[in-house]
Amino acid sequence: MGSPAPPCAANRKRRSAAAGRAAPHVVTGVHVGGGHGGERRRGSPEEAEQGAEPPAGGAVRRGKRAAPAAAAPQPAKLSRAELYRPPTSEELTQLKETEDLFHSSLLRLQIEELLKEVTLKDKKKKKIDAFLHEINSLLSAIPETAETELTDQAWLSEGVKVPFLQVPFSVKGRFRFVPPAELKVVGSYLLGTCVRPEINVDIAVTMPREIFQDKDNLNQRYHRKRALYLSHIAQHLSKEKLFGSVKFAYMNSNHLKPILLLRPQGKDEKVVTVRLHACPTSDLFKPSRFYPSKNNVRTAWFMEQSTPKEGTTEPPTPHYNNSILCDTVMLSHLHFLSNAATDFPGMKDGVALLKVWLNQRQLSKGLGCFSGFLVSMLVAYLLMKRKIVKMMSGYQVLRSTLQFLATTDLSVTGISLAKDADPSLPVLDDFHQAFEVVFVDPSGLVNLCADMTASKYHQVQLEAKRSMEILDDRMVDGFQVLLMTPKPMLRTFDHIFHLKHVSKLQGTCKKMELLNELMDRGGNYVAAALPFVVSLLARGLSQRAQLVAHSLPQIPEWPIDADPPKHKDMGPLTFGLLFVPEFAASMLEKGPQADHPEALEFRTFWGEKSELRRFQDGSICEAVVWEASTACQKRLIPEQIIRHLLKLHADIPESSICYTGALLESVIKTGKEAGGTGEEAMVSLVCSYDDLSRKLWNLKELPLTVTAVQGVHPALRYTDVFPPIPMKPIYSFHKRSKHFLLPSEEKPCPAYITPLKVICHMEGSGQWPQDKGAIKRIKAAFHLQLAELLRQQHQLVCRPAVTHTDVYKDGYMFRLQVAYHREPLILKEVVTPEGMLKYQDTEESRQLELETLHLPYLTSSLHGLQQQHPVFGSTSRLAKRWISAQLLSDSISEECVDLLVAFLFLHPAPFTPPSSPQVGFLRFLNLLATFDWKNNPLIVNLNSGLTDSDCMEIKNKFVASRSRLPVMFLATPKDQWSSMWTRERPSAQILQRLVLLASESLRALEEQLMDPLSDQDVKMVFRPPLDFYDVLIHLNPSQIPRLLESVDRPVKSVSRGVVKNSSAMNILFPVVDYDPVQLYLQELRNAFDDLALFFYDKHGGEVIAVLWKPLSFQPQPFKVSSMRGRKVTTLNNELVCIPNVEAILEDIEILGEGLVKSVEAHTEKWTI
């Protein structure tokens, strides 16, 4: 949420910069009828005067006090009377509206600012108008041609190819070119609802009656004439100097509808695209020929048979009919919309906002999209039904439209704009039989949603529902989330898969017997098969997925001398699955009872996978059981279902499906056997810990009882990157000392055994001393006593130390640490020189509070979050693995990363909470890269402990004391002001580096995951660039205990002296928490902290990277006390010290003898 700062100039700049950043995702709408100039031919002088209307509710008050709009704003000098004049009624309504509608006055300002950003400026309008005048005069001057057969296209020059797939080629009919009967601008340009940055102006070019014959409605004759008409225009316009480019495109990627795109010459080329639509006169065809149940494509012609088969009835061709009707009603739609927009300034703003909303969700482009034109028609429908009134502002129009979309399912109950019920017109039911989604236009003939699949509409509906929830939630910055955040498929859906070769859908059409649909769609097998494939998957995943969505087929524009793109040229199709977390991973698909009639249907649907099973309640049912043993395999059960169903019912081979739901999880898998990703390991560890805590509570003979046992290790909140595996040491591998084992010098370093830290709180008592030294001794005595009692009463092997006791249980190593609740307070005591006793935070007391109070609370809160969202742990582990792979794990705390990931689950808007680790990780990278760390606190509302007003207070305090706070500020209910997990680290430079790495990794990953034809090596973002560093210290692999955790695992691994075993009881104590690399790093940092920074991947990295600190390389005046690592030289006859780099590199090697393989200095990068 953006902090509510005053709308000063700096803020405005920032917002417009933000809008500018978001701008590439903003797409313009498709033809939306015209304003009052609907009837005028382009070229009348009046239209230059039609400037942009003032925004709704005028941001500047119109009246004698309004400053001239164009001049630079001057501070107004107001007399005292004017200053205290009561507010006008207009101002009062505006204040009332702001209070009732918007959550804050900030939202109103943001929306007004966005509208300014996306609407067309007057200066551009003048340029566009001039361009349109010139097109107008050129079009009327194109010469006629002689009449020829439709199939004889020799009269077209070599440089132009007909923009139409003429399959089959032979067709009856004759064609000649006659200049257009009239030209009209239609669409959003006239209405003033076009949205930058892509400005499209639609011109309807009316083809004269005389070029048509009687049966042009049949067998694509009309469509081919339309294409030839545009080809001839293209041939002439391409010679003109006026145009920077003349290209063809398909309107909304529908290949029956080519259009001609014209762009101006020179630097204005990006300003506007003029789209020429060829259309017939409105009364050319009899409408009744095109009812949804009528046929206009003959099977014999389409199949190229000489005579039709006897006694066959022709199937209806509703999509084909609809495509012709669309052209005949273009101008009437224009009038309809211009009437709706008259005296309704809010409509213009509302439609612009809705277009931005659709663009950010990738819903407004492609075949069957929810276009800008459709949105304008929907607003007009709501106006007609009185759900919207002309008084409303743009924001109210946005809300009302989203509310309507969220609550109305047009795939079940269609809507119609036709006013008087003409009994001869088709009724809504007729449309529902022919189309998946129904929205009928004012003529009662055209379905505006003809190409949309039910799945796409359900996606729009789900987005609208989610958006309404966000707008009603005061904790979320609705503006930022709804209108400024792009929602690409990869970050929106839990799993994504691609159909690599869409040409395989030809086989699907055969298998599903979709010949009629193919004829109807003019041979477009993608459009014919897509609805059937999606509904097949939706049925197979009905319990598991709340939505199966698909990308919109999009075909790019092409030069006029190239052949039109084929259906297979649209590239891969992408499908997205949004899971129901409770059922997505279930292994059983239970069907009807064996003797029920539905059982046969179930068997047919699932094929040989279906089998009879007896259930516990005694019933015998059909069922499908999917193979999966680990949590990560269960998450991929939807992949098994999809591959099985597509092969069985759609003839799509497995090799054509590229499933990218869990590609990233390989980096958190351990061990040779490709088993799970460690979720099971953590569950068994938590069981062992629960058992230990019960034993601690029930210990007999302790002087004080244990009041609480709290785990603080990340594995106990499911976020340890590589959870510990139960193990038992091999004695022969180690050196023995009395009861313990020690590392042997001849052998490789033993495996790393993590101590799992557990805090034991002891009850309070008057016997506890009040002196910090004495408390430490009492705690040490408790550690000894705990070890003794656990050994006696539960036969556990323990090893006490002053600060803790290590307990070996079930193959794990628990580290118990005794805590006394008053100790932090006693550590805060300070005696002033006057002998007064006062309390203040000391480093020691802070550290102790962190370990014994805050960390246990955080661990239990996140443990609870994991119970609600089963993929929280895996997401956090991926995030930590990535940070560690970038060598930054020492620069940012684990708890901080856990909180960042928790934020994604607790505040997912505009998304739903992640249901797969991969989508969670992508959103984590996006959060790091795009969050405004400088100006906003990140509020993680654990257990909903913060109210609306708390959040406001945190933000205001944050703004007030920004300079004193950490660069990355995280607030939680128990830690609202201090951001304790980020107090020390990351530093500003590290955060900047993290942001840069996150945005680069995100870009690279999204490119790979969205391109099914690439090699998809997702580990690439886990391999950091090392050329950035000054010195690289290469380590000896046999001395790295966690080598198997590295991103690229070694081919052959060495024995590390342990075997997997969770039942060993009486053992010699293994080597715990021994990682030579970490000890070496500690020595390096102690020795050279003032000269260099050291970076290392703690999960098996083989390189320590070093960066020199630039300041330490400036010559210092000679001082005996500061000669560490320096040497003396003379500079300008003065003695100065500079770092002695050769000696330092030599020291680095000597310190790491046996561990360091070599030291590589990138000397070309630094000079002394």
The token pair at 74 is: 């001057």
Among residues 121, 114, 124, which one has the least CA distance to residue 271?
A: 124
Whether 37 and 516 have beta carbons less than 8 Å apart is answered as no
Question: Each residue of 138-185: pLDDT tens digit?
Answer: 888 888 888 888 888 888 888 888 999 888 888 888 888 898 988 899
Question: Each residue of 269-299: pLDDT tens digit?
Answer: 778 899 999 999 988 888 889 999 999 988 8
Quick one: CA torsion of 140, 145, 149, 152, rounded to 10 degrees? -100
Whether 87 and 95 have beta carbons less than 8 Å apart is answered as yes
Which pairs from 888-892 meet CB under 8 Å and 24+ separation?
A: 888/986, 888/990, 888/993, 888/994, 888/1095, 889/1096, 889/1097, 889/1098, 889/1099, 890/1081, 890/1094, 890/1095, 890/1096, 890/1098, 891/985, 891/986, 891/987, 891/990, 891/1095, 892/982, 892/985, 892/986, 892/990, 892/994
> How many alpha carbons fall within 13 Å on the CB side of residue 878?
24
Among residues 993, 997, 1013, which one has the least CA distance to residue 1093?
A: 993
Tell if the pTM clears 0.85, that is, is over it.
Answer: yes
CA 914 – CA 905 distance, rounded (Å): 7
> According to the model, what pLDDT value does residue 104 have?
60
Among residues 387, 295, 397, which one has the least CA distance to residue 349?
A: 397
CA 201 – CA 134 distance, rounded (Å): 14
The β-bridge relationship of strands 755-762 and 741-742 is unpaired
Question: Each residue of 645-660: pLDDT tens digit?
Answer: 999 999 999 999 999 8
> According to the model, what pLDDT value does residue 37 have?
38
Question: Each residue of 322-355: pLDDT tens digit?
Answer: 999 999 999 999 999 999 998 888 899 999 999 9
Quickly state the pLDDT bin for 75 (edges 50, 70, 90).
low
> According to the model, what pLDDT value does residue 1167 have?
59
> According to the model, what pLDDT value does residue 1165 have?
61
Whether 210 and 180 have beta carbons less than 8 Å apart is answered as no
> According to the model, what pLDDT value does residue 24 have?
39
More confident residue, 148 or 51: 148
> According to the model, what pLDDT value does residue 569 have?
85
Average pLDDT over residues 842-859: 92
Average pLDDT over residues 479-505: 92
What proportion of the chain, given as a percentage, has pLDDT over 90?
53
Please state, in angstroms and as integers, the Cα–Cα distance from residue 697 to each residue in 17, 705, 708, 763, 965, following that order: 59, 7, 8, 11, 41
Q: With 70 as the cut, is the pLDDT of residue 21 above it? A: no
Whether 808 and 862 have beta carbons less than 8 Å apart is answered as no
Question: Each residue of 570-590: pLDDT tens digit?
Answer: 888 999 999 998 898 899 999
Among residues 231, 93, 252, which one has the least CA distance to residue 162?
A: 231
Name 726's Cβ contacts closer than 8 Å, sequence gap at least 6: 684, 810, 811, 812, 1060, 1061, 1062
> According to the model, what pLDDT value does residue 2 have?
44
Question: Each residue of 1100-1151: pLDDT tens digit?
Answer: 999 999 999 888 777 878 777 767 778 888 777 888 888 888 889 999 999 9
Measured from the Cβ of residue 682, the count of other Cβ atoms closer than 10 Å reads 23
The token pair at 742 is: 């020690």
Alpha helices in 161-264 (DSSP H): 188-191, 221-237
What proportion of the chain, given as a percentage, has pLDDT over 70?
92
Question: Each residue of 635-648: pLDDT tens digit?
Answer: 999 999 999 999 99
Please state, in angstroms and as integers, the Cα–Cα distance from residue 442 to each residue in 317, 326, 401, 1089, following that order: 21, 12, 19, 76
Measured from the Cβ of residue 473, the count of other Cβ atoms closer than 10 Å reads 15
More confident residue, 13 or 1080: 1080
Average pLDDT over residues 825-838: 87
Whether 183 and 139 have beta carbons less than 8 Å apart is answered as yes
Average pLDDT over residues 105-133: 85
Question: Each residue of 518-540: pLDDT tens digit?
Answer: 999 988 999 999 999 999 999 99
Quickly state the pLDDT bin for 814 (edges 50, 70, 90).
very high
Q: What is the DSSP letter of 88?
A: P
Quickly state the pLDDT bin for 90 (edges 50, 70, 90).
confident
Average pLDDT over residues 718-723: 92
Quickly state the pLDDT bin for 393 (edges 50, 70, 90).
confident
Which range is least confidently modeled, 684-698, 808-822, 844-858, 1134-1148? 1134-1148
> According to the model, what pLDDT value does residue 7 have?
42
CA angle 39, 42, 48 (to 5 degrees): 105
Maximum average pLDDT range among 243-247, 818-822, 1044-1048: 818-822
Question: From the centroid of its chain, how far is CA 107?
Answer: 23
Phi-psi region of 1140 (alpha: psi -120 to 50; beta: other; left: phi over 0): beta
Question: Each residue of 683-700: pLDDT tens digit?
Answer: 999 999 999 999 999 999
Report the largest interatomic distance among the alpha carbons of the chain, rounded to a whole angstrom. 115
Question: Each residue of 222-251: pLDDT tens digit?
Answer: 999 999 999 999 988 888 888 888 999 999
> According to the model, what pLDDT value does residue 275 have?
92
Quickly state the pLDDT bin for 759 (edges 50, 70, 90).
very high
Task: Report the chain's mean pLDDT, rounded to a whole number.
Answer: 86
CA 336 – CA 384 distance, rounded (Å): 11
Whose structure tokens read 């003959």?
Answer: 298
Among residues 386, 384, 392, which one has the least CA distance to residue 347?
A: 392
Amino acid at 828: K
> According to the model, what pLDDT value does residue 61 have?
36
Q: With 90 as the cut, is the pLDDT of residue 783 above it? A: yes
User: Coil, helix or strand for 895?
Assistant: helix
Question: Each residue of 905-932: pLDDT tens digit?
Answer: 999 989 999 999 999 999 999 999 999 9
Quickly state the pLDDT bin for 188 (edges 50, 70, 90).
confident
> According to the model, what pLDDT value does residue 480 have?
87
Whether 587 and 543 have beta carbons less than 8 Å apart is answered as no
Whether 1065 and 734 have beta carbons less than 8 Å apart is answered as no
Name 312's Cβ contacts closer than 8 Å, sequence gap at least 6: 299
Among residues 29, 456, 521, which one has the least CA distance to residue 323?
A: 521
Question: Each residue of 594-607: pLDDT tens digit?
Answer: 888 899 999 999 99
435 burial class (0-12, 13-18, 19+ CB within 10 angstroms)?
Answer: buried
Quickly state the pLDDT bin for 681 (edges 50, 70, 90).
confident
Q: With 60 as the cut, is the pLDDT of residue 1096 above it? A: yes
The token pair at 72 is: 């630079």
